[in-house]
Amino acid sequence: MKNIFWIIEITSCKLCSEEEIFVKFSFPKIELHLHLDGSLVLEDTWEMALQQGLVKKEDGFESFRRRMQVPQTCRNLADYLKCFQLADAVLQTPEALERASRSLLLQLSREGIIYAEVRFAPQLHCEKGMTQEQAVQAVLRGVKRAERETQIKAGVLLCAMVTTGKPDVDQQNERTFRLAAEYRKEGVAGVDLAGAETARPMEDFRTLFQLASALSLPFTIHAGEAGGPENVRTAVNFGARRIGHGCSAIRSPAVMDLLKREKVTLEMCPTSNLQTCAVPSLQEHPIRQFAELGIPVTVNTDDSTCSSTTLDQEYEKVMSLGFTQRDLIKMNCNAARAAFLPEKEKAVLLERLQAWL
């Protein structure tokens, strides 16, 4: 097997500037589950927050960092989602969204990621007059700039929201999906449902995902993170062939059998799953059991800034559960197969990865 170590130690959890990034695993990497507003490059975001008057310079960068990252006292998903407030406040202009998406992909490229699917909810960026369409266009501009400047390739997933606290959330969700269909040829890869999973029954979104199917939109659904295994079952019954998290499926042999039978890929995020209390401890994370049953699993960061992690650090966590470096490459092969890409582009990713096996 090829040597897959560049630098043995990762010396910091923080998202760093270019010269501070250390890459441990040098095989090509794919990330499927990554939220833009939870994964902002801190230095860039600090500058934008200062320019917008959202923070004071005298309060200092470390105070800003603490507001952007999940505290150790995080008790559940609702607590976890609070750390998005400042990030979303910064991302209320097209310029900020374009800069943020470009900076994130440049950083991912430096970390050895060759393909990423970056997701965001356009309706969360309309507080100061920007439209959903303008938000989508801005993120796509940033992505295309990063693709021109590096070797990374990326798709954008548009997220519908379980709830936003506004009465028109269902209408906005429909608008999001229709925009996704309009921009499929411009870089939108698919759609998702995100947010406070237990705030509404999963069944409320059946019509929305019927629309996704009618529009031929690939989709993934957050399920089984804060909610129970029945949410995972419902999401699969909607037609999802990827599930964000899915941890609670471990509590239902029937749902696990369903995942295996339908070849549903799980987008697993160990650090985030610990922080949201989706799992009680790393040792009790179900990723090993899912993999042993034959359910395709992938490893992701979810929100690299909020969770203060990198994809390499997530790999180290799953290796502590008994996975090998070869297993990690196979998980990236799972990600390539499940990516919302044309078959020819998937084949290119798979060929690059399989050369390391």
Q: For the chain, what is the radius of gyration of the CA atoms?
A: 19
Catalytic position from the list 111, 197, 225, 267: 225
Four-CA torsion 175, 180, 181, 187, nearest 10 degrees: 160
Q: Which tokens in the block code for residue 249?
A: 């499926």
Quick count: other Cβ atoms within 10 Å of Cβ 343? 7
Residue 18 annotated among the catalytic residues of the structure = no
Q: Which residues of 46-81 are buried (b: 16+ CB within 10 A; e: fewer)?
A: bebbeeeebbeeeeeeeebbebbbbeeebeebeebb
- For residues 170 and 219, give the distance between their C-alpha atoms in angstroms, rounded to a whole number: 17
- For residues 240 and 246, give the distance between their C-alpha atoms in angstroms, rounded to a whole number: 12
Q: Which tokens in the block code for residue 271?
A: 């650090």
- For residues 14 and 17, give the distance between their C-alpha atoms in angstroms, rounded to a whole number: 10
Catalytic residues: 225
